[in-house]
Amino acid sequence: MGYLQGEKPITISKLLSMHAESEKITMLTAYDSTMSALLNRCGIDVILIGDSLGNVIQGHSSTTPVTIEQMVYHTSCVARANTASFLIADLPFASYGDPVQALDSAAELMRAGADMVKLEGGGEWQTEIIHYLVKRSVPVCAHLGLLPQSVHLLGGYHVQGKSKDAATVMREQAFACEAAGAQMLVLEAIPSSLGKQITESLSIPTIGIGAGPDCSGQVLVLPDMLGISPGKPPKFVKNFLDGSPSIESAIKTYIRSVKSGKFPSPEHCFAG
């Protein structure tokens, strides 16, 4: 199986090959070396050093307080213990307002050990930045749907792309991100039908988080999937620690469930 990588590091070429062969890609977040080492032992394909650390590590109500300096610190912590997984680090809020700032921020994350950076949004200015970064040898993962960094603009954490017009815009933005050079796309909190449409229309992998079972892979915030985050979990989260004898067992169950297509099930998905 593709997730049994041992000490052989996963590259973007490997992820693109997995997508071409319809093998599901597994991704979880990590913010420190201990969990990075554990995820490597379990065989996770991709580790996301997410700005979700603002919520689950720092205790903020959103990701917007997270700084590039903090992302660099946590990326370096994860990278030190990583032996096989592909590492993606988030560009945090207000760290990529223009192409030059985006390149400076991305360079810091990659020097800290990231293999790819992720940024939110698919508007004209974001695709300009994607193009600028890729032309300068920075691999980019785009992020559409619910954009946590824009939660104040969106008025809360709501499902996106439900109307016909909103779905059309998101499909157009997905095409634009791919055309700009993005090699991967995270889709968050959108109807499963839209996740399927976007996935089937692109040549790059899509990673769903509340975007349905037809995405090329799945990602969850690690404390969420272990059932240890405070508050009510999002609809798209499953507690994999429930019924598992250990955290390691829960992570391995998550990996098997994603690889086999058992997760997400309909109860974790949004209707159009």
Q: How far is the C-alpha of 23 from the C-alpha of 145, rounded, in Å?
A: 23
Known binding residue 200? Answer is: no
Known binding residue 118? Answer is: yes
| Four-residue CA torsion sign, 72, 179, 24, 169 | positive
Whether residue 188 lies in the annotated active site: yes
Residues 6+ apart with CB under 8 A from 170: 122, 144, 145, 160, 161, 190, 194, 198
Residues 6+ apart with CB under 8 A from 153: none
| Type and span of the H or E element at 143 | strand 140-145
Catalytic residue of the set 188, 200, 248, 267: 188
Known binding residue 120? Answer is: yes
Known binding residue 242? Answer is: no
What end-to-end distance do the CA atoms of the chain give, in Å?
33
CB 182 within 8 A of CB 16: no
CB 240 within 8 A of CB 228: no
Please tell me whether residue 163 adopts helix, strand or coil conformation.
coil
Residues annotated as catalytic are: 188
Q: Which residue ranges are tagged as binding site for Mg(2+)?
A: 51, 90, 120
Q: Which residue ranges are tagged as binding site for 3-methyl-2-oxobutanoate?
A: 51-52, 90, 118
Q: Which residue ranges are tagged as binding site?
A: 51-52, 90, 118, 120
